[in-house]
């Protein structure tokens, strides 16, 4: 009886590997570089745990033609760690295109042409790094980046994103880098960072990790009152080369400290004293703003005094 059950399990396992449920074709005779698969140079259909692909750890397709990443395009590969799909003219990512990838660490989808990030594309994946640089992204579902529990680095720079949503990043507690530079963002809304932990403890490294947010080279004109409510600290906050005319004390909300904030190349006439208390280094990152004479004189005195963190107490 025991032998019967053992043989049955082997047959079932082989059936999973060799006779996977067919998926809708995403790849058509597409050149691919793989690690963990011998003699596989092209792919047609999708990546699933067939006998040839079940040991794959690395997938790279560059300069190909993959118009749409369809549902189950890359699915159920138990050893897959890295996926790089750069410059393939991808115009759409269907929900579920990445599915059941328990060891996946990195996804790079750079230099493609998709405009939308839907819910269900990246949610619940174990990824640590997600790079979406230089596409045509304009629209991001409010839940598109939720519940990515291991995500530390999100690069979505050089796109066409015109807004920031405070609904993003719920259930994604390990964020260390949010790179949104070179987009079209025009304002920072109320409680914009409520789902971001400005500082979190890393058990792996046994130290506190600060979140760095890069928003430079956008079109930000306005920071709402209470924009930073719900967060106490940031590592780096880069807002240079925007169109800011004012930063109100009310916009700073619950913020207590920023390691480094950059505000060069805006239209600021001054900044609130509280911001200098929160981040004394800001005094050195205000160049190319039309500061008033009173503001310049006050800040020059602070820099000469060398005690900017305490001068307003």
Per-residue pLDDT of the chain (313 residues; tens, 9 = 90+): 555 444 444 444 444 444 445 688 999 999 999 999 988 999 999 999 999 999 999 999 999 999 999 999 999 999 999 999 999 999 999 999 999 999 999 999 999 999 999 999 999 999 999 999 999 999 999 999 999 999 999 999 999 999 999 999 999 999 999 999 999 999 999 999 999 988 877 777 778 889 999 999 999 999 999 999 999 999 999 999 999 999 999 999 999 999 999 999 999 999 999 999 999 999 999 999 999 999 999 999 988 876 544 443 3
H or E element, residue 241: none
Architecture of domain 2-305: Alpha-Beta Horseshoe (3.80)
Q: What is the residue extent of each domain of the chain?
A: 2-305
DSSP character string of 191-219: TTTTT--SEEEETTTTEEEE-EEE--SS-
Count of Cβ atoms closer than 10 Å to residue 200 Cβ: 14
């Amino acid at each position: 009886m025991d032998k019967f059950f053992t043989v049955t399990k082997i047959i079932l396992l082989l059936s999973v590997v060799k006779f996977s449920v067919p998926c809708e074709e995403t790849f058509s005779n597409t050149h691919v570089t793989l690690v963990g698969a011998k003699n596989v140079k092209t792919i047609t259909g999708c990546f699933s745990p067939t006998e040839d692909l079940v040991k794959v750890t690395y997938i790279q397709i560059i300069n190909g033609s993959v118009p749409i990443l369809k549902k189950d395009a890359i699915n159920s590969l138990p050893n897959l760690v890295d996926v790089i799909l750069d410059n393939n003219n991808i115009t759409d990512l269907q929900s579920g295109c990445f599915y059941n990838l328990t060891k996946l660490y990195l996804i790079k989808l750079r230099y493609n042409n998709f405009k939308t990030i839907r819910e269900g594309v990246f949610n619940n994946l174990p990824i640590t790094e997600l790079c979406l640089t230089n596409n045509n992204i304009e629209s991001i579902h409010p839940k598109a980046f939720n519940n990515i529990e291991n995500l530390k680095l999100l690069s979505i720079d050089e796109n066409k994103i015109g807004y920031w949503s405070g609904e993003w990043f719920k259930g994604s507690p390990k964020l260390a880098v949010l790179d949104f530079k070179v987009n079209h963002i025009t304002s920072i809304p109320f409680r914009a960072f409520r789902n971001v932990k400005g500082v979190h403890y890393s058990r792996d490294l046994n130290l506190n990790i600060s979140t760095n947010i890069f928003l430079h080279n956008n079109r930000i004109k306005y920071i709402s009152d209470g924009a930073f409510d719900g967060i106490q600290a940031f590592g780096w906050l880069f807002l240079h080369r925007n169109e800011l005319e004012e930063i109100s004390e009310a916009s700073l909300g619950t913020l207590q400290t920023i390691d480094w904030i950059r505000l060069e190349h805006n239209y600021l006439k001054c900044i609130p004293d509280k911001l200098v208390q929160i981040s004394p280094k800001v005094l050195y990152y205000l160049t190319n703003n039309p500061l008033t004479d009173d503001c310049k004189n006050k800040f020059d005195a602070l820099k000469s005094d060398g005690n900017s963190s305490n001068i307003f107490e």
